[in-house]
Amino acid sequence: MIILENLSKEYDDVTAVRNLSMEIPDGEIFGLIGPNGAGKTTLLRICCGLLEPTAGRVLINGIDVRGNTAAAQSEIGYLSDFFSVYDDLKVWEYLDYFARAYQLTPAEIKARVAEVISDIGLETKRDAMIRGLSRGMKQRLGIGRAILHRPKVLLLDEPASGLDPQARIDLRILLKKLRDGGATVVVSSHILPDLEAFSTSIGVMERGVMLRSGRVNTLRDEVEGAGTRTIEIAWLGPASHVKRFLADREISVEAIGDREGAFPFSADDDELSTLLADMVAAGIRLTGFHETMQTVEELYVKLSQGQVM
Ligand code: ATP
């Protein structure tokens, strides 16, 4: 678990993190969202002990990062937003080097390096020199380095930057696998559809303040109103028929168009199924009927205040 207590960071003339307190429970994949300069990188660097906070503290699995940096760091895998790799090493040598630095036992290093190379999809580049890798491949290697020592907490700053579509899909699968293995993951990203695919919770940060954070579904309920669902429909034939049908049941027709539309619905699946059957029985020629959910992008737009530092 990650606990932030009254955390602040001031640079010369900028407050990058303002009195931030929150908890990220075990097993979450927490998506950190915010405009450029929101304080995301600063926050992640404080969490892994690379930056001293001006005030407050971070606990990683109960360990105070400031007082016990080395112990906390043994629990953390960190991928920086900009990092360099050693060009003159082969892929396997780079990971082997860090496996030794992380003090994996000699007996397990070979197998672990092979496992990580497979996890990051670089099997065919195992013996390639790093200088010849593409940007996205170097990014994958950075992720590989961050997970080598099986950290319980992963802090990834813009891990999808530079990755091709397949690598982004692979990253989603890898993050879910790490979570299934018990890791807690914090990912900062501007690629909201990616966060949508793997985040269990999100935090919206602006000007050093965490405006809102929590489980994605809880935030959806807050934005939409708990228990309110949105049903999208499409049909053939006159819209007047559809509007009359819904209005008779006191369902809002505000967003019902000529051929398609949406309406709010506040009951369970049983009643939704009955409504669908009744629409068909009433002669409405439905071509679409499904529930939609707010995307993380829509949530972000609603939760953020659009302020840029
Ligand atoms: P981005 O999405 O662009 O990566 P971010 O959310 O990660 O942005 P930070 O890099 O944490 O934001 O920066 C937060 C604020 O702190 C910005 O105003 C930035 O200019 C400032 N800042 C960051 N690092 C320093 C530094 N070393 N010295 C002075 N100011 C800094």
pLDDT above 70: residue 222: yes
Q: Which residues pair with 206 in a beta bridge?
A: 209
217-242: average pLDDT: 87
pLDDT in tens, 118-163: 989 899 999 999 999 888 888 889 999 999 999 999 999 998 887 8
Whether the CB-CB separation of 216 and 224 falls below 8 Å is answered with no
**CA 218 – CA 25 distance, rounded (Å):** 15
Token pair of 257 as six digits: 């168009």
* φ, ψ of residue 100 in degrees (nearest 5): -70, -40
Q: Which residues pair with 32 in a beta bridge?
A: 188, 203
223 vs 109, residue with greater confidence: 109
227 vs 190, residue with greater confidence: 190
pLDDT in tens, 291-308: 998 888 888 888 886 444
236-264: average pLDDT: 95
- In this predicted structure, what is the pLDDT of residue 305? 62
- In this predicted structure, what is the pLDDT of residue 308? 43
**CA 136 – CA 133 distance, rounded (Å):** 8
pLDDT above 90: residue 270: yes
Token pair of 31 as six digits: 């998506």
Whether the CB-CB separation of 17 and 208 falls below 8 Å is answered with yes
Instruction: List the residue whose alpha carbon is closest to atom 18 of ligand 1.
Output: 37
CA–centroid distance, 17 to ligand 1, in Å, is 10
273 vs 222, residue with greater confidence: 273
CA–centroid distance, 43 to ligand 1, in Å, is 10
Task: Quote the mean pLDDT of the chain.
Answer: 91
- In this predicted structure, what is the pLDDT of residue 307? 45
CA–centroid distance, 171 to ligand 1, in Å, is 25
Categorize the per-residue pLDDT at 58 as very low, low, confident or very high, splitting at 50, 70 and 90.
Answer: very high
Categorize the per-residue pLDDT at 185 as very low, low, confident or very high, splitting at 50, 70 and 90.
Answer: very high
Categorize the per-residue pLDDT at 60 as very low, low, confident or very high, splitting at 50, 70 and 90.
Answer: very high
- In this predicted structure, what is the pLDDT of residue 8? 97
Return the ligand 1 atom nearest residue 45 CA. Answer: 11
- In this predicted structure, what is the pLDDT of residue 237? 93
Percent of the chain whose predicted confidence (pLDDT) is above 90: 69
pLDDT above 90: residue 171: no
Categorize the per-residue pLDDT at 69 as very low, low, confident or very high, splitting at 50, 70 and 90.
Answer: very high
Pocket of ligand 1 contains residue 14 by CB under 6 Å? yes
6-23: average pLDDT: 95
- In this predicted structure, what is the pLDDT of residue 91? 96
pLDDT in tens, 93-116: 999 999 999 889 988 999 999 999
Token pair of 68 as six digits: 């016990």
Whether the CB-CB separation of 204 and 304 falls below 8 Å is answered with yes
Element holding 10 (H helix, E strand): strand 2-10
CA–centroid distance, 181 to ligand 1, in Å, is 32
**CA 105 – CA 90 distance, rounded (Å):** 21
Beta-sheet pairing, 15-24 with 285-292: unpaired
Pocket of ligand 1 contains residue 203 by CB under 6 Å? no
Beta-sheet pairing, 201-206 with 184-188: unpaired
Whether the CB-CB separation of 76 and 154 falls below 8 Å is answered with yes
222-232: average pLDDT: 81
Q: Where are the alpha helices (DSSP H) in the chain?
A: 40-47, 69-73, 91-101, 106-119, 135-147, 165-180, 192-198, 216-224, 239-248, 269-281, 296-303
pLDDT above 50: residue 309: no
The residue among 106, 101, 41, 97 whose CA lies nearest residue 74 is: 101
- Supply angle C-alpha 199, 153, 124, rounded to 5: 80
Q: Which of 9, 10, 11, 82 to mutate to test the pocket of ligand 1 (most atoms within 8 A of CB)?
A: 11
- In this predicted structure, what is the pLDDT of residue 63? 95
